[in-house]
Chains A and B, each alone.
Chain A
Amino acid sequence: MSKEIIHEPIEDFGLSKRTKSTSLFSRVGIVGCGLIGQNLARVASYYGLDVVFVEVSEEKIDEAFSGIIQMLDHRIEHWGLTESEKRAMLSRIEGTTDIAKLAGCDIVVEAIRPVNRGMKIKERKEIFRQIEEVVDRNCIIATNSATVVITELSSELQYKDRCVSIHFFVSSPEARIIEVVKGLYTSDESYTKVCKFVTQINRAMVPVDESAGLISVRIFVVLLNEACEILMEGVASLEDVDMTMKIGFGMRLGPFEVADKMGLDKIVRWMENIYGEFGDVRYKPSPMIKKLVRARHTGVAVGQGFYAYDEKGQKILSAKRSC
Chain B
Amino acid sequence: MKILVLNCGSSSIKYQLFNMADRKVVSKGGIEKLGMKGSFLKHTREDGQVVIFEGEIIDHKAGIEYILGVLTSVKHGCLKNLEEIDAVGHRVVHGGEKFKSSVFIDEEVKAELERNIALAPLHNPPNLKGITAIEELIPEVPQVSVFDTAFHQTMEPFAYMYGIPNILYKKYGIRRYGFHGTSHRYVSERVCEILNRDIKTQKIITCHLGNGASIAAVKNGKSMDTSMGFTPIEGLIMGTRSGDLDIGAVTFIMDKEELGLRSLNALFNKHSGMLGLTGISSDMREIEKARESGNEKAALALDMYNYRVKKYIGAYAAAMGGLDILVFTGGIGENADTTRQGSAEGLEYMGVELDVEKNRAVHGTEAEISLDSSRVKVMVVPTNEELMIALDTEQIVLERSITGR
The residues of A with any CB-CB pair to B shorter than 8 Å are 1, 3, 5-11, 13-16, 20-26, 47-50, 78-82, 200
Contacts and interface: CB of A to CB of B under 8 A. Distances in A.
B171 to A, nearest CB: 23
A13 B31 CA distance: 14
A13 B70 contact: yes
A47 to B, nearest CB: 8
B250 interface: no
Interface string B241-268: 0000000000000000111001110110
Contacts of B53: 7-10, 13
B48 interface: yes
Contacts of A7: 51-54
20 contacts: A5-B51, A8-B52, A10-B56, A10-B66, A11-B55, A13-B53, A13-B76, A14-B62, A15-B65, A20-B56, A26-B38, A49-B37, A79-B257, A79-B263, A79-B266, A79-B271, A80-B263, A80-B266, A81-B266, A200-B35
Interface of B: 33, 35-41, 48-58, 62, 65-66, 68-70, 72-73, 75-76, 82, 137, 257-259, 262-264, 266-267, 270-271
Contacts of A80: 262-263, 266
Contacts of B54: 7-10
Contacts of A79: 257, 259, 263-264, 266-267, 271
Given A78-B259, A79-B267, 6 more contacts: A5-B50, A7-B54, A8-B76, A24-B58, A48-B36, A79-B264
A14 B69 contact: yes
Contacts of B266: 79-81
A20 B258 CA distance: 47
Contacts of B35: 24, 200
A23 B137 contact: no
Nearest to B45: A6
B41 A10 contact: yes
B219 to A, nearest CB: 39
Contacts of B68: 15
B271 A15 contact: no
A48 B35 CA distance: 10
Nearest to B275: A82
Nearest to A13: B69
Contacts of A10: 40-41, 53-57, 66
B45 to A, nearest CB: 9
Contacts of A81: 266
Nearest to A85: B270
A275 B73 CA distance: 63
A21 B57 CA distance: 9
A19 B209 CA distance: 44
B201 to A, nearest CB: 42
Nearest to B44: A1
A3 B55 contact: no
Contacts of A200: 35
Given A8-B54, A50-B37, A14 B259 contact: no
B50 to A, nearest CB: 5
A291 B100 CA distance: 69
Contacts of A9: 53-55
B115 to A, nearest CB: 23
A194 to B, nearest CB: 16
B36 to A, nearest CB: 5
Contact of B37 (A11, A20, A48, A78): A48
B354 to A, nearest CB: 34
A78 B267 CA distance: 8
Given A24-B56, A24-B58, A15 B137 contact: yes
